[in-house]
């Protein structure tokens, strides 16, 4: 009778590796930016012995239509790494634009979307109208807010009087 | 005070009252969102077209959060909640089900609703039912932009041309009874208050609301159908007495012809085949 070998604990199945793997999952609306950089992934729990991964995500904006797609993309990315993968949507901590990583802010700027100013933990005030916006194309503050609302829940529409180009402003929330 | 962390922590006797509350919160946003979306393509300016559509998207997103909590509590699938109920099973206040009307009507209704909802969301932020407290923490952040938008337009119309002013006044006159109906007592409200699920009664919220908007109406010389009286026990505390009769019934499934028309449209696709997978 052959001895059943001890099943090696998969040394890829640890939390750090999962955080890294999820950097491959893009935000469907802003494909240059991962769900990690967006601050959408809030928590990862790994049970290596049971080959179980649990990921907690939170929506950026309640009306975001991409949430289901993000859930499915995360499931797809992790399905090869464990037997059992769970992706839960949690409202435990409301998403704030402060959760955007430095990388995310840089990438937004790169695609012509002005990143949001920091909001902090206090009351929300409509910062869009209380300070000048910076043009992501030319850096000027000779800008005007055209619309506090835009093509997606997270973006406002602005115009630069210096370089005469419109740009999108990520809304501080 | 007991904190209810999730749906399974809710005792049986509280399930129906809580579910009714959640449906009211969801239906208010859902129906309002529908009427706001009716401006898409026909708003007065392109930018307002974008604004109304975006606001509607937020509102339907807020409704979805509350519907998901009803699903967690009752097991009823979310699409069935949103589209599969009969007319008397919807629980929105009649204010939100009125047809969008003209631009002044939309702005007047939005102003009355947003100012009231601001206080309601604040009062729910310390609800003993954690999923509600968490939901409103999120929702309040987004509502800031809605409030900003309607504030600007309310001022603009009130201080605009005679036509703008007239239309606004006419809209407000028509809407006030419904606006007072926003504070209709919830079924089993006492039970919800006792358990901390509601932290403030509808009567108290209505007082706070009237006090919060009275200065705006005074400043803009707009008719305000409530009169301040200082007959309360607390010195310096002004109580507002509504001078008109509120139009009630929404929280108990009584709805208007406007809602019947909307319901037919918004549930049409779902009702073709409720079992279909889209």
pLDDT band per the 50, 70, 90 thresholds, residue A129: confident
Q: What is the CATH number of the domain that holds A51?
A: 3.30.300.130
pLDDT score recorded for residue B237: 72
Query: Which residues in chain B have their CB less than 8 angstroms from residue A125's CB?
Result: 144
Tell me the three state secondary structure of residue B41: coil
Q: Is residue A6 part of a domain?
A: no
Say if A2 falls within a structural domain: no
B92-121 burial, b if ≥16 CB within 10 A, otherwise e?
Answer: bbbbbbbebbebbbbbbbbbbbbbbbbbbb
Q: Which of A62, A129, A146 sits opposite B142 (nearest CB)?
A: A62
Contact A63 B51 (CB under 8 A): no
Low-confidence stretches of chain B (pLDDT beneath 70): 231-236
Residues A82 and A136 in one domain: no
Could you tell me if A84 and A138 lie in one domain?
A: no
Look at residue A97 and tell me if it is in a domain: no
Mean pLDDT for chain A overall: 90
Q: Is residue A3 part of a domain?
A: no
ipTM of the prediction: 0.89
The alpha carbon of residue A63 is apart from the nearest alpha carbon of chain B, in Å, by 4
Residue B125 and residue A53: Cα distance in Å, rounded?
31
B143 to chain A, any CB pair closer than 8 A? The answer is no
Task: Tell me which chain B residues have a C-beta less than 8 angstroms from the C-beta of A68.
Answer: none
| A19 and A81 fall within a common domain | yes
State the pLDDT at residue A7: 45
Residue B119 near residue B205 (C-beta atoms within 8 A): yes
CATH 1.20.1260.10 fits B7-272, yes or no: yes
Whether residue A79 sits in one domain with residue A130? no
pLDDT band at residue A31 using 50, 70 and 90 as cut-offs: confident
Domain boundaries, chain B: 7-272
- For residues A22 and A74, membership in a common domain is answered with yes
Is residue A78 located within the same domain as residue A133? Answer: no
The whole domain housing A148 covers 112-118+126-170
Range A1-25 average pLDDT: 74
Mutate to test the interface with A, among B34, B45, B135, B144 (most CBs of A within 10 A): B144
For residues A84 and A140, membership in a common domain is answered with no
**Does A42 map to a domain?**
yes
pTM for this predicted structure: 0.93
First to last CA, chain A: 64
Domain count, chain A: 2
Same domain, A85 and A136: no
């Amino acid at each position: 009778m052959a001895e059943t070998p001890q099943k090696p604990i998969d040394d890829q199945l640890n939390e750090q590796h999962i955080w890294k793997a999820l950097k491959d999952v893009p935000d469907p609306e802003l494909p240059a930016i991962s769900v990690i950089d967006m601050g959408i992934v809030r928590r990862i729990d790994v049970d290596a012995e049971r080959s179980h991964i649990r990921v907690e995500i939170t929506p950026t904006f309640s009306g975001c239509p991409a949430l289901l797609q993000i859930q499915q993309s995360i499931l797809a990315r992790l399905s090869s790494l464990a037997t059992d993968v769970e992706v839960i949507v949690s409202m435990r901590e409301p998403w704030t634009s402060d959760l955007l990583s430095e990388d995310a802010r840089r990438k937004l700027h790169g695609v012509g979307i002005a990143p949001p100013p920091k909001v902090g933990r206090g009351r929300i005030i409509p910062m869009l109208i209380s300070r000048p916006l910076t043009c992501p194309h030319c850096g000027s503050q000779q800008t005007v807010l055209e619309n506090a609302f835009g093509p997606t829940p997270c973006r406002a529409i602005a115009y630069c009087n210096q370089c005469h180009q419109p740009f999108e402003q990520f809304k501080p929330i | 005070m007991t904190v209810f962390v999730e749906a399974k922590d809710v005792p049986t006797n509280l399930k129906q009252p809580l579910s009714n509350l959640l449906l009211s919160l969801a239906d208010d946003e859902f129906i309002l969102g529908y009427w706001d979306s009716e401006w898409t393509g026909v708003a007065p300016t392109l930018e307002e077209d974008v604004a109304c559509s975006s606001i509607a998207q937020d509102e339907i997103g807020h409704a979805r959060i509350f519907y998901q909590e009803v699903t967690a509590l009752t097991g009823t699938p979310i699409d069935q909640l949103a589209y599969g109920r009969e007319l008397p099973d919807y629980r929105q206040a009649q204010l939100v089900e009125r047809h969008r009307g003209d631009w002044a009507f939309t702005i007047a209704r939005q102003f009355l609703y947003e100012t009231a909802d601001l206080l309601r969301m604040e009062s729910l932020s310390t609800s003993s039912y954690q999923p509600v407290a968490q939901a409103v923490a999120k929702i309040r952040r987004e509502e800031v932009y809605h409030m900003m938008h309607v504030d600007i337009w309310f001022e603009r119309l009130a201080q605009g041309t005679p036509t703008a002013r007239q239309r606004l006044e006419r809209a407000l006159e028509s809407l006030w009874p419904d606006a007072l109906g926003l504070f209709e007592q919830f079924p089993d409200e006492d039970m919800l208050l006792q358990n901390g699920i509601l932290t403030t009664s509808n009567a108290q919220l209505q007082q706070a609301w009237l006090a919060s908007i009275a200065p705006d109406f005074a400043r803009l010389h707009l008719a305000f159908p409530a009169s301040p009286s200082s007959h309360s026990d607390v010195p310096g505390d002004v109580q507002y007495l509504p001078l008109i009769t509120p139009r009630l019934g929404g929280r108990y499934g009584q709805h208007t012809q406007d809602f019947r028309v909307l319901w037919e449209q918004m549930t049409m696709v779902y009702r073709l085949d409720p079992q279909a997978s889209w």
